[in-house]
Amino acid sequence: MSVGTKLATLRESHGLSQEELAARAGCEVATIADIENGSAVPSLAPLIMLTRALGVRLGTLLDDDKGLGPVVTTAAELGTRAGSASLETGTADAPLDFYSLAKGKISRHMNPFLIDVAAHQKRDLDSHEGEEFIHVMEGLLEIEYGKDTFVLEPGDSIYYDSIVPHQVRCSGDESARILAVVYAPA
């Protein structure tokens, strides 16, 4: 079941129109419509706002398997992309390809992703409830966080409150690969 189909099913089960959900989530009706009909690749920020408004965890939309216990994601499974967009904005010039590392784990509080960050992309700062942990695996990463900017090299990591306006981008001409763990309270 696609993310859009899951979103529509959840919205309808709550008896909400797209307009009512948009008002609750603080997002555009067009964003919801585009996600539900599959014409937009969903990004994390709008999905977090929508799941919060629906009172479910982010994984509810991203999970495929309903199994219990630990979840193992093999290297071969990383070819299954969870999305391609901005973590913050969901724009079409998608600077991030993200791969879920725990899509089969139900009732999780953290959402781990392997993310490929494209070079030469800059967007507006964004914020959402929760926390993020980022570990740089390859390339140079620049994190703009409030009024500060941090440049991280492979092996470096950062943990921050995502309510503070922030942006993740490459530093320099090469792409980067990161491990990101996002906590978004339900």
Structure tokens at 29: 């009706």
Determine contact, residues 144/169, Cβ cutoff 8 Å. yes
**What pLDDT does 50 receive?**
92
Average pLDDT over residues 163-168: 91
pLDDT tens-digit readout, 34-51: 999 988 877 788 888 998
Q: Scanning the structure block, which residue is given the tokens 């503070």?
A: 164
**What pLDDT does 80 receive?**
57
pLDDT tens-digit readout, 87-142: 443 444 556 777 888 877 666 778 898 989 988 877 778 888 889 999 999 999 99
Q: With helix as H, strand as E and coil as C, how does the chain read? A: CCHHHHHHHHHHHCCCCHHHHHHHHCCCHHHHHHHHCCCCCCCHHHHHHHHHHHCCCCHHHHCCCCCCCCCCCCHHHHHCCCEECCCCCCCCCCCEEEEECCCCCCCCCEEEEEEEECCCCCCCCECCCCEEEEEEEECCEEEEECCEEEEECCCCEEEEECCCCEEEEECCCCCEEEEEEEECCC
pLDDT tens-digit readout, 63-92: 654 444 567 777 777 665 655 554 443 444
Residues 6 or more apart in contact with residue 91 via CB below 8 angstroms:
43, 85, 123
pLDDT tens-digit readout, 141-153: 999 999 999 999 9
pLDDT band, residue 61 (cuts 50/70/90): confident
**What pLDDT does 19 receive?**
96
CB atoms within 10 A of CB 17: 12
**What pLDDT does 1 receive?**
58
**Please, is 180 exposed, middle or buried when counting C-beta atoms within 10 Å of its C-beta (0-12, 13-18, 19+)?**
buried
pTM: 0.61
Average pLDDT over residues 162-180: 91
**What pLDDT does 90 receive?**
41
- Cα dihedral across residues 130, 112, 84, 120: positive or negative: positive
Amino acid identity for residue 71 in this structure? V
Comparing 66 with 20, the larger pLDDT belongs to 20
**What pLDDT does 86 receive?**
45
